[in-house]
Amino acid sequence: MAKFKSPLYKRFDLIFIGLLFFLSLISLIIFDFKLNPFHPILIAVFGFLSYYALRYALSCQTTIEVVDEILTINQYNKTFDISIAIDIPLNEVRGYEINQVTKSSTALFIYTNSFNYYKFSLMRMKDEITIQNYLGAFIKKLDSKTNPLFSSFSTAYLFAFKRSIIYIILSATAIAGLFFIVEGQTIWHSNKFIFPFLSFIISASLWYIIIRIPVKRNYFRFGAFYWFSNFLFYTSMFVMYPLLIKISEIRENPITLNYAYEMIKSKHSGVFLINKVSYNPNLILLNDYQENPNVKGKNFPVTHHFLTPLGSGDIIKTNGLYNLWLFKTYEQYVKKSLMEQTKREEIFNFHIQSKQAFIESLHTQPNFYTLVDQDANISWLLNPSYNFSKPSIIIEPHWETIAEYKRALQKQMLFLILVIIVMNLMGCIFIAINR
């Protein structure tokens, strides 16, 4: 008989996943379903605390014993007065392994010939030797060399690669179909959380069917089909949203307008050619900059924002009420190692230079304009201004040709496709090493 401490079978994993999902949902509700940099921090802190609290509350003495060709596992938790008994015929057991689930978590896995498994998290390192000494006398210990179908990394990787190709094609097709069917629906634009959420449901479901089940049924060990180690597959589909936006922008034909105010009736479009426009950034120019010093690396980005009213050939007045605006950003990178005063001076000088560059650029009329989503930075600039009229339309001027603009979009599109492929290729590694 082998004795060790472990949380209650299945209860621990189910409750922990449920709590993480609950926190994710609550944090999204609090922040009005907008992605926020605090989300991963909140979830990480909550996950860390809840993980160890659950381990303590659900921990119990666990025994494994082989009697009359039956492998018996018993657990009893005093806190909740719950007992569990599992009996497995010895001839149904394919083998066992003790392996690391996450960096701070190790578990015992018992695999059956029907492709099921029993997982027991281990709470003490000394229990590993006790379990191995006992179970080794009755059942086989599994590792990367005991898979009867894939004895080498290359054959296992090829199997995973084929499954991932099918997964990418079906997931991308389903998500793209959903996107273009309802592309013009206002719900897509009023709440940008909805499409990523539906995309995740589609990708996670297809991952489970196309990758997890076949991998599990081909004698791979737990690390090959665990949701945590397979996260690169289903999270790669989050890239589909910006990719589909790029494709939509490439497909879009520009709308030609005589006057800028006609955009109010055509703002569902993204690209405009406007014959008669007027602006005066020397008279009205809203500007600000935003720093992001917490990014990794030697430099941090500073984004400089500029807004000026757009007229329809009429004179721009300081006491006017405007709902059409030209918007332009300039990106700067500042070394973190500089003295604080030097950083301030560099940012200030760059802002002045960017302001002058924006004003001078408008000496030449732009070739076309693209619609810009009004984010928090734009709203902050507009709200203090008495020249602000709701609802406002924000557009960005472009001096390159439309062909050059679309070629740049195509390069961005190809990069996003490459990101999806690379993420899936890396995901295949985790499957192959856990064959």
Helix (H) / strand (E) element for 87: namely strand 82-89
Q: Residue 328 forms beta bridges with which residues?
A: 306
- With a CB cutoff of 8 Å and minimum separation 6, the contacts of 81 are none
Greater model confidence, 159 or 292: 159
Average pLDDT over residues 110-126: 88
pLDDT in tens, 291-336: 888 778 888 999 999 999 998 888 888 877 788 899 999 999 999 8
Q: Of the spans 4-18, 66-80, 182-196, which averages the highest pLDDT?
A: 66-80
Domain 2-135 has CATH 2.30.29: yes
pLDDT in tens, 408-433: 999 999 999 999 999 999 999 999 99
For the chain, what is the radius of gyration of the CA atoms?
Answer: 29
**CATH 2.30.29, the chain: domain bounds:** 2-135
pLDDT reported for residue 21: 62
**Predicted pLDDT of residue 187:** 45
The mean pLDDT value for 195-206 works out to 88
226 or 267, which is more confident?
226
Residue 186 has what pLDDT?
A: 46
Q: Residue 266: is its pLDDT beyond 80?
A: no
Neighbours of 228 (CB within 10 A): 10
- pTM (2 decimals)? 0.79
Report the percent of the chain where pLDDT is more than 70.
84
pLDDT at 136 over 70: yes
Mean pLDDT of the residues in the chain: 84
394: part of which helix (H) or strand (E)? strand 388-398
- When mean pLDDT is compared over 90-94, 162-166, 228-232, 363-367, the highest value belongs to 162-166
pLDDT range class, residue 83, cuts 50, 70, 90? confident
pLDDT value at 74 more than 80: yes
3-class secondary structure per residue, 398-434? ECCCHHHHHHHHHHHHHHHHHHHHHHHHHHHHHHHHC
Q: Which residues of 355-367 are buried (b: 16+ CB within 10 A; e: fewer)?
A: beebbeebeeebe
